[in-house]
Amino acid sequence: MPTIPLTVRGAELLREELHRLKHVERPSVITAIAEARAQGDLSENAEYDAARERQAFVEGRIAEIDSKLSNAQIIDPRLVDADGRVVFGATVDLEDVESGDKVTYQIVGDDEADIRAGKISVSSPIARALISRSAGDMAKVAAPGGTREYEILDVRYE
């Protein structure tokens, strides 16, 4: 499996979720299964079926997070020395050339992406268009509504 880039904060969030799944969700599901079994006939027991489905989801997510963390390349944006170029972890101030709207995005791993929080996935079209560019450069992004052009106003490593 290839390495998975994560910011320090993204790795912390995955570790927190893993801890919650192992120490809160897993015991809760085990209790629910035991209670459903105590009700008798399992062949027509909806609570048992639901608890088993939940257990499968929790165990699957635990395995997924374990795998991601074991293959993670954790990058601290504050330690990046990219000479003002846009790289993974960088925070970028952009201006839409057509509308004049200004936005700020941080380029993060796929699991960390949250557009409302200003975090875009490194594999997104806009991040791919920005990577390796510097402040003052223009970037064309193929979006569903057509091609957008952005001017890079500033690149920070926070």
Architecture of domain 80-156: Roll (3.10)
Label residue 79 exposed, middle or buried (CB < 10 Å: 0-12, 13-18, 19+).
exposed
Tell me what pLDDT residue 13 has: 93
Tell me what pLDDT residue 142 has: 87
* 97 alpha-carbon distance from chain centroid: 28
- What is the domain partition of the chain in residue ranges? 4-75, 80-156
pTM value is: 0.81
Local mean pLDDT, 10-residue blocks, the chain (158 residues): 88 96 96 86 80 95 95 90 90 93 94 93 94 94 87 94
Tell me what pLDDT residue 1 has: 65
Query: Domain 4-75 classified CATH 1.10.287.180?
Result: yes
Do 67 and 1 touch, CB atoms closer than 8 A?
Answer: yes
What is the rounded CA–CA span in Å between residue 116 and residue 28? 31
What is the rounded CA–CA span in Å between residue 106 and residue 43? 50
**Look-up of token digits 């209790």:** 31
**Look-up of token digits 């374990």:** 66
Sequence-distant (≥ 6) Cβ neighbours of residue 3 within 8 angstroms:
71, 72, 73
